Each structure stands twice: as C-alpha cells, then as structure tokens.
Amino acid sequence: MRTQRRGTKPLRAWLPLGTRFLLTLLVLAGVALLAIGCAPDANPTEESSTGVVSIVNKGSDTLVNLALAWAERYMELNPGYRISVTGGGSGTGITGLINGTVDIANASRDMSVEEIDALRSSGMEPVEYTVAGDAIAVVVNPSNPVDRLTLSQIADIYTGKITNWSEVGGEDRPIVLLSRESNSGTYVFFLENVIRVGGGDDTLLFSPDTLLMPSSEGISEEVRQNPNAIGYDGLGYVTPDQKTIAIATEEGEPYVMPSIETVNEGTYPISRALYMYTAGEPSGPVREYLDWILTDGQALVAGVGFVPLQPAAEGSR
C-alpha cells in the first residue's frame, strides 16, 4: 500500500496530470498574534502546564495562507489551542513529518516513494488527507499580447526549445523563465504534469536558464516587473496585476482559464489536489482539527482563492 488515504476523495475535476518565508501564527488564550520570522523549535501536539494544546503544521508555501486562515479561525473557536503554521515547501514539511518535528505536513504534491519509505522506516504509515483543490495558473506581464498556450507550447518554453515570444504569437522578445525552487511541491507537479506530459517525454527537465524563485510571491513580483517573464502559481496567488494565460490540452482543443468553476467542471488542464499528511493515524487534538478542516473549515477555502471540496466528497472515509 503506497499511502493510506483518509478524509475526503479528490474533486472529480482534479486531473491525473501527476525570498523563502516562514509564517508563524500563535494564539494563546484567545488572543491572536501573527508574526513573520523564524519558527520556534517544534514540539508536536504537546499540552502545556496551562492546558494549552500545541499543534505544529508545516510545509507547502501554496497551502500556507489557507492553513493560516484555518488555524486562526480554529483558535478563535477553541482558545485553548496554539497552532503554529510555517511554509518552506512541501519537501520541508514532509521532512519534518519524517523527523517527528511536525504534527501535520502540508503538501501540494503526493509524497514520493522515498519519503514514504523513510517514514515507514521509523515504524509509521503516512496518512493522506485531501483538504482542497487548486489550479496551476500560467502568468505573464499584462503588457504581453500572448493570451493562450497549449501544454506542448508551455513544455517547449520551459525546456528551452522556444526562447522568443514571437514563436508563440507575441513580440520579438526573449522569454524569461520563472519557476519555484526544487523543494516546492508546485515545482515537482509542474515538471511532471506540464513539462513532461506536454512534451511527451518523462525525462524532460527545466531549462538551465530558468530563474528559481524562493516563493510564490517572488514569481508574482517578477512577473509584474518584467514584460518578458512567464511564471506559474497556485490559483490563490494570482493577482489582478498579472495576466493569466488560457490553456489548451492540445491544438484544436478549447482554451480554458483557471477558476474554481473550471476546476470543478474538469475543463482546466492543470488542476491538482492539496494535501495534509500525518505520521500514522491521528488522534485527539490533531484528529479533531483535521475533521474540522474537512467539514466546517471548507467555508474558508474559496475566500483564500482555492477550490473547496465538493459536498458529495466531504466527510467520506
């Protein structure tokens, strides 16, 4: 068994297209304090002498804003909880889970075979929860006249076969490639399910000319400033001052914009599930928190820019 899947099933529309920051949210006794900086040493699921329960949640930068929203709301409802949320990338969160320093690892990709084996070597089985849906948006500067691309064209751009915007209907300008860093789950997903699927070759890699950005915000900022740039981000990070590209699976197929609706309809080609992982079957406060995320917590998802679980899937085991 690769992983033990729990919680809700993925949205029916999720397709099988297979400066780094730390944010720490601490609330004690009903007082919310949001701090940006270095997270304290993690001590998963401990109860202090004052009766405050601590939960440590770390991982995907894509998920961090949604995880912060969940944590803040849950602590408002349950003042005896302190939930620490930090980013750093899916790989960072999963490493913390393996090392026993986090309770919940956020991930925008599946755990790898190597990661699963590492967790199992400590006698724990990974438990996967699908907590929301997402679309990967391909974005350019608003001044760029290009407004649509196929998966094949995107693959050719990111592998360096296409290097000038004029080759895809734009102006005679060099293409500046932007990507997340390799510890990002979004990087892995884009490589495996856009570059390799679009290029028809599972050995393809990002062009060595690709600029690796430490955060989703870094990609957004560079796209806003650079008229030649192209980047990709989770749906929740797309802002009005970027231009979102319509995507077609192949030439002749419809070009579709990313949105909650097109993910649910199954028409947007680059859709994915977002996950939370635990080491073994959770219990007590962690289990209660995850159960809340999968039910009442779904009301917060669309407001952060992601795709809520469909009602038919919620609560299924």
CA angle 169, 175, 177 (to 5 degrees): 130
Which pTM was predicted?
0.81
The answer to whether 298 and 308 have CB atoms below 8 angstroms apart is yes
SS3 222: helix
Domain chopping of the chain, boundaries? 4-134+275-304, 135-265
Q: d(Cα 290, Cα 271) in Å, to the nearest integer?
A: 23
Mean of per-residue pLDDT scores for the chain: 86
**What is the pLDDT at residue 310?**
87
DSSP lists the bridge partners of residue 130 as 7, 275
**What is the pLDDT at residue 220?**
94
Say whether 135-265 and 4-134+275-304 share the same fold. Answer: yes
Correct CATH for 135-265 of 3.40.190.10, 3.40.50.2000, 3.40.30.10, 3.80.10.10: 3.40.190.10
Q: Residue 106: pLDDT above 90? A: yes
Q: Residue 306: pLDDT above 90? A: yes
What are the C-alpha distances in Å from 202 to residues 8, 194, 196? Answer: 30, 10, 5
Rg over CA atoms, the chain: 20
The answer to whether 197 and 17 have CB atoms below 8 angstroms apart is yes
**What is the pLDDT at residue 261?**
96
CB atoms within 10 A of CB 176: 19
Q: Residue 12: pLDDT above 50? A: no
CATH tag, 4-134+275-304: 3.40.190.10
Q: d(Cα 151, Cα 91) in Å, to the nearest integer?
A: 26
Q: Residue 9: pLDDT above 90? A: no
